Amino acid sequence: MFKGSYVALITPMHDNGEIDYPALERLVQFHIEQGTHGIIAVGTTGESATLPFDEHVEVVRQIVKMAAGKIPVLAGAGANSTAEAIFLSEQMASLGVDGFLSVVPYYNKPQQAGMVAHFTAIADASELPVMLYNVPGRTVVDMLPETAATLSQHPNIVGLKDATGDISRLKDLQALVDDDFILLSGDDATSKEFLCEGGHGVISVTANVVPKAMAQMCEAALAGDYARCRDIDAGIEQLHTGLFIEPNPVMPKWALHKMGLINSAFLRLPMVPPELASQKHIETILQQYGLIKG
């Protein structure tokens, strides 16, 4: 479990900011049909930072219900307060999720020992699997490989999403953790190299737009067909960069709106719609890939 292409799912909203649950169901069914291997519910791309507790839990509840056991669901459950992260995971533990994605605490700038204590407390509080998430570009601090290795010894901590974009980091981790510890890329632009160097999959923003291609790319790599993995990536590489020309999830929401999969590209403040130049840029890419009409 937790290998392959896991989509960092956006949270669709109406123009008034309320959650668009019919659109959310369309997205979940879209990923089931397209072969996505799993869903990350209310992570960074799902605008976890602007969903209050009750709404966060309800969106996860609905995604699990919509998935109906056909696809695994990992719930975003990170926080920069350990007590808050534990509380959130406790609220979602009975929803039927398959595990939690828990980010390195942001803003606080904890020491490496603080990260060990933080994630150990979270893992001790639940019997469900915990996937660590290291994204220093957002959290400021970087979980070092040695810290991840220490945490990998906890029976409930099963893997790491590494969003450093540094492939040498993968090699460092592989040398320190057991083979059954899941290593997932959190950086679409370098996910091909990550997979071809022995990574187990990717938690992908690009998969929001081209889920079948991302799933097939992961399947090829896991089967040892690295040439096919590279070929598939070459066919979608413009999306890896185009979807990040503005802070995530601005561009994925815009793309899905233009594709007709969601009714609105609404983002909660402080996120705002993309600049006109960004809109035109991603629309040109979508046209080139045949995802929207010219």
Query: Cα–Cα distance between 2 and 158 in angstroms, integer?
Result: 9
Residue 45 annotated as binding site: yes
Give me 46's structure tokens: 């799902």
State the catalytic residues. 133, 161
Residues 6+ apart with CB under 8 A from 270: none
Query: Cα–Cα distance between 159 and 132 in angstroms, integer?
Result: 6
Tell me the pairing of strands 99-103 and 130-134. Answer: parallel
Residue 120 annotated as binding site: no
Count of CA atoms in the C-beta half-sphere (13 A) of 129: 15
In this structure, what are the phi and psi dihedrals at residue 192, rounded to the nearest 5 degrees?
Answer: -60, -50
Annotated binding site for pyruvate: 45, 203
The annotation places the binding site at: 45, 203
